[in-house]
Amino acid sequence: MSEETRTRIRVQPVALSSVTHVNGLLSRLELGELSEDEVSSYRGRNDNWSGTTTSGHAVFVKQIVGQPADIQQRIHHMAAFDRLAAHHELEHLSTPRLLGYDLNHQLVVHEYLHGTVSAAELAADDAFTGELAALAGKALAEVHTLGAGRSHADSGTGPLPPVKGLEAIPGSVYAGSSAGSIEAWSILHTDTEVARAIVDLVGEAAAFHRPVHGDLRIDQILWDGERLYLIDWEEFRLGDPARDVGAFAGEWLYRAVNGIPEKVGKDHPGQADHQPTDAEVIAAGTAELDRLRPVTEAFWRGYRSVDASADEDLAVRAVRWAGWHMFDRMLALSEQSSRLPAISRAAAGIGRTALLAPEKFTKTIGLDV
């Protein structure tokens, strides 16, 4: 593992003197206060602060961004999961405890996990092993098999996929979109088969009522050398477990597609201007899938060892969610782009196949039963 990925990536935190409500909340929770000189922050869309307080508590404070009503709902989701987890003897799942929150200032406080590294950072060094993947599968299956009903969690569909945007995006969104983002949306707006498949996927998910993470990404999987943790339960709800399984598989599927340029480059050293043929792109993509598939296979074995009900139907639905994940990545990356990268178009093409013909894709991505 490289030195850069032994700890999670840090950035300069927002000065606590400008956000006095952070220490105000910590004081009300009787956790002490964070010191301006000793606090640190991790890269992400939300401002955050971590460190040890004056009373010796290790805390991670996050200020959630977004619309107020949406933020409050997300905080309630986190609190609901924390209550549910606290009432079960968990064998495989570890997650930092929720210590408190402030709805008015959109703040949440969790216990701070020292010395962790994310699965995304490990993956960048090819250090996320099959053993860790199996642990992630077991942890996620334990979430899905927790006894929970509608009194424990919401059963709404969640903000993604953006079903309303599949027909058209609002003028205000269009005006603020990058050229790359508009190009990405045009792919979805002109491919009626894919748009219908995504709408159907969301509709079918409403028939399932099992606890799910709801927004799983591999940067939400942390490893401290001894235990694996799942974090960020803002979209926790009752839903289809295939969504989470597909999100994990989709992360590795996307990594395989994203690795095509590097693989082609290695096959043509010293030829920076080489334009790969379609055959070379397909060969590189196949090689990357073969290289990364064992991670998803290990995850799926771990998952099925805990959830005996996991079957081919779950795998097929998960492939469809993995297909959506490819479009989700395309949309996310296009937001800051002046044009849609070729690799995003390739990801969308694979996502289309996974959405429309999932039965042919289970073995390809490592979810074979």
Per-residue pLDDT reduced to its tens digit, 94-110:
999 999 999 999 999 99
- Which of the residue ranges 51-65, 252-266, 283-297, 322-336 would you say has the lowest mean pLDDT? 252-266
| Domain co-membership, 189 together with 56 | no
How big is the CA angle at 157 (ends 222 and 68), to the nearest 5 degrees?
A: 75
Choose between 195 and 66: higher pLDDT: 195
Assigned domain for 343 exists: yes
Categorize the per-residue pLDDT at 359 as very low, low, confident or very high, splitting at 50, 70 and 90: very high
Which residues are CB-contacts of 168 (< 8 A; sequence separation ≥ 6)? 189
Domain contains 8: yes
106/163 same-domain check: no
Mean per-residue pLDDT of the chain? 89
From 85, 111, 137, give the residue that closes a domain.
111
Higher pLDDT, 360 or 44: 360
Q: Is the peptide bond before 211 cis (omega within 30 degrees of 0)?
A: no
Average pLDDT value for residue range 160-179? 82
Compute how many other C-beta atoms are within 10 angstroms of the C-beta atom of residue 126. Answer: 11
Q: Which domain holds residue 56?
A: 3-111
Would the pLDDT of 247 be above 80?
yes
Q: What is the mean pLDDT of residues 176-186?
A: 88
**Statement to judge: residues 244 and 104 lie in one domain:** no
The neighbour count for residue 173, using CB atoms within 10 Å, is 14
Examine the domain organization and report whether 10 and 87 are in the same domain: yes
What total of structural domains would you count in the chain?
A: 2
Same domain, 257 and 353: yes
- The answer to whether residue 125 is domain-embedded is no
More confident residue, 309 or 157: 309
Question: Which of 46, 80, 111 is the C-terminal boundary of a domain?
Answer: 111
State how far the Cα of 140 lies from the Cα of 236, in Å rounded to an integer. Answer: 12
On whether residue 127 sits in a domain, the answer given is: no
pLDDT tens-digit readout, 124-137: 999 999 999 999 99
- What is the CATH classification number for the domain harbouring 10? 3.30.200
Instruction: Give the pLDDT band (50/70/90) at residue 151.
Output: low
Indicate the residue among 93, 111, 129 that finishes a domain. Answer: 111
- 105 & 167 share domain: no
Do 161 and 96 share a structural domain?
no
Task: Please tell me whether residues 349 and 269 are part of one structural domain.
Answer: yes
Domain membership of residue 191 (yes or no) is: yes
Q: In terms of domains, do 28 and 177 share one?
A: no
Asked whether residue 116 is assigned to any structural domain, the reply reads no
Look up residue 40 and give its DSSP letter.
B
Residues 318 and 176 in one domain: yes
Question: What's the whole-number mean pLDDT along residues 35-48?
Answer: 87
The answer as to whether 48 is a domain residue is yes
In this structure, the answer to whether residues 253 and 311 fall within a common structural domain is yes
25 contacts 36 by C-beta, under 8 angstroms: no
Would you say residue 310 lies in a domain? yes
Whether residue 34 is predicted with pLDDT greater than 60 in this model: the reply is: yes
Distance CA(223)–CA(226), nearest Å, equals: 7
Mean pLDDT of all residues in 290-314 = 96
